[in-house]
Amino acid sequence: MISSSLLIFLTFGSSAAAARAQVKVSVEALGDSGHVYAGQPAYVDVTFENLGQEDVVAPAGALVEAWELEDPSGAAFACTSEDRPSYLRPADKNSSQVVLRAGERRTIKENFVQSICPGSLRKPGRWRFRVGLSVDQKARVYSDWRTLEVIQPAGREAEAIAAYPASSADLTEYLKKYGDTAIAGRLLRRQNEIEAGLDWVPTAPFGDRASRVGRNQRWLEGTTGWRLRVTEQFLRRHPDSYFAPDLQSVAAAMYASTGDVDGAERMAALLGHSRPDEAAAIRDTAARLRSGKAMTR
């Protein structure tokens, strides 16, 4: 996981007893290890943390969250996230808003950069951006500047982008042909959800997920028929993909459900750095399978 942060101490109020908040804004994951193909969505995970003992409060009408970008020519512009489904929205016009409780840490995943900043990342080249959090009418805390390299697609990647499906109803044929390309990660994850239906709940413990989908005939048919093979190809060729950790968890469930304990443990090893809790849960499930027990207690 890529990480950068800016730590700033801010003092609120004018009295000697004014509260002091220690605020941290971090970019935790960034595109496919800092690059994206032109015209394709770039995803960013951002963490906002209050390490202090007082709540961080945005005044009435303040913009709670803001992004700043620089294009390859160095031209800078600001954009906001007013319309996105996040808890970080503009504060109410008539009242202040608690942004972060004392000690709170909140990660907003899959921020779609081009949606937050319309018109961005269209030109190939090096783009820079940072994410800010308002903590006062005039003060804002920013993350470090991060870089996204926009690459003009060519060859097979360009072919895959041109053939990108307009619907996500069934992605089987597309993924059989283009599942090894860099842009296929999100679609492979989506196909897993399509085949698993209600049996795949990302927030459920790994053993429960693997046990439930292991009884889902459609999911098993996709796994043994083509999807595990394509998912492995994707992970080998694009280990730094934004979607690699999700797909490593999916592949681990595929291996566990088909009795391949070695395969599940291999995925746990890959997840050890980015998602240690998930890796531990996969190893626990693998150990149970090795001892002849069920995947869940």
Tell me the domain boundaries of the chain: 4-151, 155-290
Percent of the chain at pLDDT > 70 equals: 87
Of 28, 122, 117, the C-alpha closest to 69 is 117
> What's the pTM value of the predicted model, to 2 decimals?
0.85
pLDDT higher than threshold 50 for residue 132: yes
Domain 155-290 has what CATH class? mainly alpha
Sign of CA dihedral 166, 38, 81, 100: positive
Mapped onto helix, strand or coil, the DSSP state of residue 170 is coil
Least confident of 82-91, 188-197, 198-207: 82-91
Least confident of 6-20, 134-148, 228-242: 6-20
**For residue 188, which amino acid is it?**
L
Q: Using alpha carbons only, what angle is made at residue 84 by residues 76 and 116, rounded to the nearest 5 degrees?
A: 20
Q: C-alpha dihedral over 241, 245, 249, 254, to 10 degrees?
A: 10
pLDDT higher than threshold 70 for residue 9: no
Residue range 155-161: mean pLDDT, rounded? 94
Least confident of 61-65, 83-87, 204-208: 83-87
d(CA 103, CA 127): 33
d(CA 113, CA 39): 12
- The count of residues in the chain is 297
Percent of the chain at pLDDT > 90 equals: 62
Of 284, 295, 265, 170, the C-alpha closest to 227 is 170
Check whether domain 4-151 has CATH 2.60.40.10, yes or no: yes
